[in-house]
C-alpha cells in the first residue's frame, strides 16, 4: 500500500505543481509532442530544401514556448 501511495505521488506531483490534473498534463504534453514532431519534419524538409519553411519551425517553437510559460 505504501508503494502505491508513493507511485501516485510521483505521478501527480509535477502536474499539481503547475495546476493540472494528471490527465490534463498527459494531453497537454502529448499535444506539445505532436506539434514538435511536426516542427521536426519541417526542419528536415528545410535542411534539404532551404528555400522552404524558412521560419515555420522556429515560429512554432516560439509559440510553444509562450504556451509553456503560461
Query: Mean per-residue pLDDT for 54-63?
Result: 95
**CA 1 distance to own-chain centroid:** 32
User: What are the structural domain ranges in the chain?
Assistant: 23-70
Query: Mean per-residue pLDDT for 41-57?
Result: 97
pLDDT grade for 62, boundaries at 50, 70 and 90? very high
- Percentage of the chain surpassing pLDDT 90? 93
Distance of alpha carbon 36 from alpha carbon 13, whole angstroms: 25
pLDDT tens digits, residue range 18-48? 999 999 999 999 999 999 999 999 999 999 9
How many Cβ atoms from other residues are within 10 Å of residue 53's Cβ? 19
pLDDT grade for 70, boundaries at 50, 70 and 90? low
Amino acid at each position: 500500500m505504501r508503494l502505491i501511495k508513493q507511485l501516485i505521488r510521483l505521478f501527480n506531483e509535477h502536474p499539481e505543481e503547475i495546476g493540472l490534473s494528471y490527465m490534463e498534463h498527459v494531453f497537454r504534453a502529448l499535444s506539445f509532442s505532436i506539434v514538435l514532431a511536426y516542427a521536426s519534419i519541417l526542419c528536415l524538409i528545410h535542411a534539404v530544401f532551404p528555400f522552404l519553411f524558412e521560419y515555420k519551425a522556429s515560429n512554432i517553437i516560439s509559440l510553444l514556448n509562450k504556451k509553456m510559460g503560461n
